Each structure stands twice: as structure tokens, then as C-alpha cells.
Amino acid sequence: MSSDNNSVALGQPLSSVPPLTAAMIASLPHASFRDRVAAGILDLVLVVLTWQILDTFRGGRAFFLALLVYNIAFWTWKGTTIGGIICQLCVVRTDGTALRFIDALVRGLSAIFSIVVVGLGVFWILRDPERQAWHDRIAGTYVVKVPRNWPL
């Protein structure tokens, strides 16, 4: 490993990290159920802590709306959430391109359905050969595992 300040953890210089293309992202492995649950739990804890600190509303519906807005905003902005960044996950469209607002909105709203039916839509990841939950299928998205040396 070089002592150059421009190197990443794997010893590969930052300048040699290839820019992410749709084809490269589409070829990444789909995220496991465990990784997706870990990222979801991290996001939930973050939103709960923020909710408690802000203490703006007391209603449960408003909390779930805040959670939905958090996810849609981060998926649109970064293609992932803070939990996803920690777990190195990225949500992409099935063609490998970045999510647009409408994709994130459809994914977020359909995730409600995936969860409401006793989580069956989420557990579908365990059966699906492409590791897609129902909301991924509806929105036309995949969750991929991004290598640590690729910026999110």
C-alpha cells in the first residue's frame, strides 16, 4: 500500500477509481436481505432520534410521513439513505441508472403496501431470484451492494 495521501483503503489511488456508469452499476451484486434490514434499522433509529430531538409532532401518522419523506428525499438526492451509505447499498433503476424523484416516490409509496401486508412484500426478497421486494418490482428498482472504494 502506498503512502500517498490520495489512496483509498484497498490501496487503489482515488484517481484510478472508475466513474460509475449505468452498466457498471447494473452489474453489481444485488444486496442481501440482511444488508437491507441492517440499513433499514439504522435509518429507523436515525429518524426516531431526530424525531425525539425535534419533538415537533406527537402523532404516529406524522412520524411515518417523516420516515417516508426521509427515504424519498435521500433516494432522490443520493440514491441511498444514511443507513444505505453505512451498509454500502445503492438503489438504482433496473437499467442501472440513478433514481429520479418519481421512481423514489413510487418506491416509497409502494413500500407502505409491502409492509402493511404483514411484511410479506419485504420478505419476498428471500424468495426472489433478483432479490427484489414488491416495492422494487413496482418501482422498477434494485438495491445493489457497492464496493467500499466507490463513493456514494
Distance between CA atoms of residues 51 and 39, nearest Å: 18
Question: For residue 6, is it within any domain?
Answer: no
Is 4's pLDDT higher than 60? no
Tell me what pLDDT residue 8 has: 41
Length of the chain: 152
Q: Is the pLDDT of residue 9 over 70?
A: no
Residue 13 located in a structural domain:
no
What's the chain's Rg over C-alpha atoms? 17
Decide if 41 is inside a domain. yes
User: pLDDT tens across 124-137, in order?
Assistant: 999 999 999 999 99
pLDDT band of residue 19 (cuts 50, 70, 90) is low
Residue 6 has pLDDT above 70, yes or no: no
Tell me, yes or no, whether 91 lies in a domain. Answer: yes
Residue 11 domain-assigned? no
The pTM score is 0.81
Residue 1 lies in a domain: no
Handedness of CA 16, 78, 22, 30 (dihedral sign): positive
Residue 152 is assigned to a structural domain of this protein: no
Provide the residue range defining the domain that includes 101.
Answer: 20-145
Q: Is residue 9 part of a domain?
A: no
Q: Write down the mean pLDDT value for the chain.
A: 85
Question: How many structural domains compose the chain?
Answer: 1
Span 117-125, mean pLDDT? 95
C-alpha angle with apex 87: 82 to 88, nearest 5 degrees?
90
Percent of the chain whose predicted confidence (pLDDT) is above 70 = 82
How does pLDDT run across 54-82, given as a tens digit for each residue? 776 666 678 889 999 999 999 999 999 99
Report pLDDT for 58. 65
Dist. CA 35–CA 41, nearest whole Å: 10
Amino acid identity for residue 1 in this structure:
M
Indicate left, alpha or beta for 141 from its phi (over 0: left) and psi (-120 to 50: alpha).
beta
